[in-house]
Structure 1
Amino acid sequence: MMRYRAITILGGAAALAACSANAGSSPASAGTRASATSSAPAEEPYASTYSAYPGAPTALIGATVFDGAGGQIDTGTVLFENGKVVAIGDASLAVPAGYMRIDGSGKFVTPGIIDIHSHLGDYPTPSVDAHDDGNEATSPTTPDVWAEHSIWPQDPGFTRAIANGGITSLQILPGSANLMGGRTVTLKNVPSRTVQGMKFPGAPYGMKMACGENPKRVYGNRGRMPSTRMGNFAVNRQTWIDAQQYAEGDRKNRDLGKDTLAGVLAGDILIHNHCYRADEMALVMDMAKEFGYTVSTFHHAVESYKIGDLLKENQVCSAVWADWYGFKMESYDGIPENAALIQQAGACVVIHSDDENGIQRLNQEAAKAQAAGARMGIDIADADVISWITLNAAKAMGIDAMTGSLETGKMADIVLWNGDPLSVYSRPEKVWVDGALMYDANDPKRRPVSDFELGQPGEGDVK
């Protein structure tokens, strides 16, 4: 549990037999934090080669629809074709000729579930030392590393995430040993031989940062700076000063780490900051103002409930667990009511996993956080809770113009649940990514498993 990250190692990966990927329009725009405008450099050396799997015009009819943006339609209809949502409405919405009709009576529809904090592929299953690729724990600042260069696409966690959790997109981050851990990458949860084939087209990069105990413990134990929280901030601030000078110079001598930091300062790369304590989050927001960048999201953020007003004022999201606390000193003030109190303050809530098992039940984690709020008198509508694992995550990752809600023209990333998604008894029945049916609980041929699992006892029973 104490791997130099937030906590657990994550497993996961996918490799369904490839059917031809002819499809799908790749969005041309990517973006800054809330607006999703392009963050990739003009010449992207490891560009996305993602292309959607083939799909069919489909109508989901009669289900309760949560649109991800706080809306609920009873007995709703969702139409999608050519990888995009065509229309969403009630039972009166006409279904065009040629659409395959799927009866969703008694079932529920949501956008595809998005995990903003995962280490699938970087800490894959089996969890052995040979797969320990999430932390370049050799220097307190390593903005030069990119998480995608460690990702193993065959990680079985990817297929389990889509089958059990309805996960259609996820952000893979480096670990939290370092103050600056490197670039994150956003993936579509589809089988691919290469990580480029999974990269979410047009998604901005993020940069992982970490405050608190992890960096000062890792490097203080080696007799070097930082060994204290004040050392953390001193190293960060000097690194930002150096990055400013680089960004303002001619850059004749290219520096990979400073390239990333210059991208942050330009507003093209989003900051995702591992941080537990409220006081440190407030200091980080001040540091961001000092150097002219913004923080997209505090991850784990177990004390966000103490500063909901500051988070709202600074438009910073909190990606939190439902109830993890007490596993180290800075997590002792974590409370199950955290998400509900952040929501009550009008700030942005995201439920994340940081775990290869938790990613398979983000819907249940969101429901737990909702129930904790209800016990203290904070009632949050189901439709708003669904946004914690869909649209809010997409906004914080800069991909909300493309996915995260069921809106005309957005990617047809959709889950049909066999019951209320906020019930422990429900699970995905069908999952579409860009309009392609990637998982079907009722069809053995649509239950993907990783190549790594084929032939293993209890796995790979697809014939």
Structure 2
Amino acid sequence: MLNKHWGLLALAAALLSGCAGLAPKPKPAPPIRINEDPYPSTYARYPGALTVIRNATVFDGEGGRINGGTVILADGLIQAIGGPELAAPAGAVEIDGTGKFVTPGVIDIHSHLGDYPSPGVESLSDGNEATSPARPEVWAEHSVWPQDPGFGRALANGGVTTLQVLPGSANLFGGRSVVLKNVPARTEQGMKFPGAPYGLKMACGENPKRVYGSKGGMPQTRMGNIAYTRGVWLKAQAYKRKWDKYEKNGGDMPERDLAMDTLRGVLAGKILVHNHCYRADEMAIMIDMAHEFGYKISAFHHAVEAYKIADLLKKEGICAAMWADWYGFKMESYDGIQENIPFVHNAGACAIVHSDDANGIQRLNQEASKALADGRRAGINISEEVAWTWLSSNPAKSIGIFDKTGSLKPGKMGDVVLWNADPFSVYARPERVWIDGALMYNANDPKRRPVSDFELGQPGEGDTK
């Protein structure tokens, strides 16, 4: 009898076990999405007026020119561009541009304003986190000081309406860049260009070699730099696979890594690579590395030997951001030539004029003028209206904002400069500058001259009387 009971109990247990096997497995926990924009732009355009500029020579930023042209700004945007026959809307402020020139606002793809502000003292020097060769977790925007007087100088003297602020080049991975509208604001977020992609600053060559070569366990050679960089990308690929799987299937959330978050964004095509690189051979190596790990280089910065590989840059769709004539200040810049920019342009590649300098950003039009003249002396006849692409549409494309600004096309942001003379002349100065259709600078109106909070009360500054 006892055996019979034990048999019944065993049968019941087996039946229960079978039922348990048929029960649905618990679903994995749904994935928690990472906030990719924890420091969002709070930019709001300044109020503007319906404005018509007439009888000016207009460079549209895409290579077009209109003599005796008309530009209409309304509701923060370029409303229309055309010839003298273009009718003005009722109630518009009309400006006579006879003898003057209208261009899109200058865009500087390589600036350190705010991170290396004026005055240039140690307490304000915040552009290089030189504590490891790889620091992709740092963000340039977290060092930007909105009161830097350099912003106003760039606006008033250089017609700069947009700029990309980058970390310095001490590191192989220097951190994220940020794109700013050149407007006064209490915070960096109030200047942050809405919707602009982040960039990743990378570097090769002498800078990281010099900074880390004397530190134990750090790369001391160019081959060491490349090996170190490849190792970081291998970790980034593994991190991306882990997080992609989690975001698709859910389950246990992997551990966050801020450095890898940035590199994962690059591998996903959301963050654009801006690579400090001088020599042609090193640029070619970085291109091969991008192929190896599956990311895209948006631009090489400084690129003094870009002319040697202009055909490769064209093939790869990579811009070269260059100076007109900086060379020889270190060995990797020794082979720079004055025709670099026009040679790159003439090969069909994307040429950009950049500053990397708080003073140079005030004269980018003159930097472009030097390159234009050097090209013509070499037999490359580039028109002024085409050369303006080096200052507006090409940098806008490289930092991912060309759909919004960089040319004078209806529907784009009203980022416009009225020059008092041909902007390729050393005598030219911005007479008026609009950002999103708001008049931010007027050389003829002391109340429309930018003065930062820091300058107020300083001797000789902020005096509008």
Same fold (TM over 0.5): yes
Which of residues 336, 342, 345 in structure 2 aligns to 1:343?
Answer: 345
Measure the CA separation in 1 of the matches of 2:278 and 2:95: 44
Which of residues 302, 308, 311 in structure 1 aligns to 2:310?
Answer: 308
Measure the CA separation in 1 of the matches of 2:109 and 2:268: 22
In the TM superposition, what whole-angstrom CA distance separates every residue of 1:333-373 from its partner, at most 9, and x where no partner exists?
Answer: 00110001001110000000000000000000000011111
2:172 alignment counterpart: 179
Measure the CA separation in 2 of the matches of 1:235 and 1:194: 36
Measure the CA separation in 1 of the matches of 2:235 and 2:370: 44
2:291 partner amino acid: K
Measure the CA separation in 2 of the matches of 1:42 and 1:96: 44
2:39 alignment counterpart: 46
Tell me whether 1:431 sits opposite 2:433 in the alignment: yes
TM-score w.r.t. the length of structure 2 is: 0.90
2:281 alignment counterpart: 279
Which of residues 388, 401, 410 in structure 2 aligns to 1:386?
Answer: 388
1:56 alignment counterpart: 49
Measure the CA separation in 2 of the matches of 1:55 and 1:244: 47
TM alignment of 1:180-219, pairs within 5 A:
180-219=173-212
Partner SS state of residue 95, structure 2:
strand
Quote how far apart the aligned CAs of 1:223 are. 2.9
Tell me whether 1:116 sits opposite 2:79 in the alignment: no
2:219 partner amino acid: P
Measure the CA separation in 1 of the matches of 2:114 and 2:217: 30
Quote how far apart the aligned CAs of 1:451 are. 1.3
In the TM superposition, what whole-angstrom CA distance separates every residue of 1:377-431 from its partner, at most 9, and x where no partner exists?
Answer: 1111101111101010100000000000000000000000000000000000000
1:38 alignment counterpart: none
Measure the CA separation in 2 of the matches of 1:92 and 1:220: 64
Which of residues 121, 126, 133 in structure 2 aligns to 1:140?
Answer: 133
Measure the CA separation in 2 of the matches of 1:43 and 1:382: 40
1:5 alignment counterpart: none
1:410 alignment counterpart: 412
1:323 partner amino acid: D
Quote how far apart the aligned CAs of 1:42 are. 5.3
1:353 alignment counterpart: 355
In the TM superposition, what whole-angstrom CA distance separates every residue of 1:195-242 from its partner, at most 9, and x where no partner exists?
Answer: 000000000000000000111111112233211000111011010000
Measure the CA separation in 2 of the matches of 1:44 and 1:275: 29
1:433 partner amino acid: I
Which of residues 257, 260, 275 in structure 1 aligns to 2:259?
Answer: 257
1:259 partner amino acid: D
1:331 alignment counterpart: 333
Measure the CA separation in 2 of the matches of 1:297 and 1:270: 9
| Residues 312-321 or 444-453, more deviating | 444-453
Measure the CA separation in 1 of the matches of 2:171 and 2:423: 36
In the TM superposition, what whole-angstrom CA distance separates every residue of 1:257-297 from its partner, at most 9, and x where no partner exists?
Answer: 10000000000000000000000000100000000000000
Partner SS state of residue 202, structure 1:
coil
Measure the CA separation in 2 of the matches of 1:69 and 1:460: 37
TM alignment of 1:69-80, pairs within 5 A:
69-80=62-73
1:202 partner amino acid: G
2:21 alignment counterpart: none
1:75 partner amino acid: G
TM alignment of 1:81-100, pairs within 5 A:
81-100=74-93
Quote how far apart the aligned CAs of 1:443 are. 0.1
1:117 partner amino acid: H
1:227 alignment counterpart: 220
Partner SS state of residue 300, structure 2:
strand
Quote how far apart the aligned CAs of 1:43 are. 4.6
In the TM superposition, what whole-angstrom CA distance separates every residue of 1:98-146 from its partner, at most 9, and x where no partner exists?
Answer: 1111100100000010000000000001100101100000000000000
Alignment: residue pair count = 424
1:372 alignment counterpart: 374
1:32 alignment counterpart: none
1:198 partner amino acid: M
Measure the CA separation in 2 of the matches of 1:342 and 1:143: 30
1:293 alignment counterpart: 295
TM-score w.r.t. the length of structure 1 is: 0.91
1:90 partner amino acid: G
Quote how far apart the aligned CAs of 1:191 are. 0.2
In the TM superposition, what whole-angstrom CA distance separates every residue of 1:55-85 from its partner, at most 9, and x where no partner exists?
Answer: 0000000000000000000000001101000
Quote how far apart the aligned CAs of 1:454 are. 1.6
In the TM superposition, what whole-angstrom CA distance separates every residue of 1:155-205 from its partner, at most 9, and x where no partner exists?
Answer: 000000000000000000000000000000000000000000000000000
Partner SS state of residue 61, structure 1:
strand
| Residues 145-154 or 243-252, more deviating | 243-252
Which of residues 212, 219, 236 in structure 2 aligns to 1:243?
Answer: 236
Measure the CA separation in 1 of the matches of 2:183 and 2:44: 10
> Unpaired runs of 5+ in structure 1?
1-40
Measure the CA separation in 1 of the matches of 2:437 and 2:35: 29
Which of residues 121, 132, 139 in structure 2 aligns to 1:128?
Answer: 121
| Residues 97-106 or 164-173, more deviating | 97-106
Measure the CA separation in 2 of the matches of 1:65 and 1:221: 53
Partner SS state of residue 114, structure 1:
strand
Measure the CA separation in 2 of the matches of 1:455 and 1:199: 27
1:153 partner amino acid: P
Partner SS state of residue 261, structure 2:
helix
Measure the CA separation in 2 of the matches of 1:438 and 1:88: 21
Quote how far apart the aligned CAs of 1:458 are. 2.2
> Unpaired runs of 5+ in structure 2?
1-33, 244-252
- Larger Rg computed on CA atoms: 2
Partner SS state of residue 189, structure 2:
coil
2:59 alignment counterpart: 66
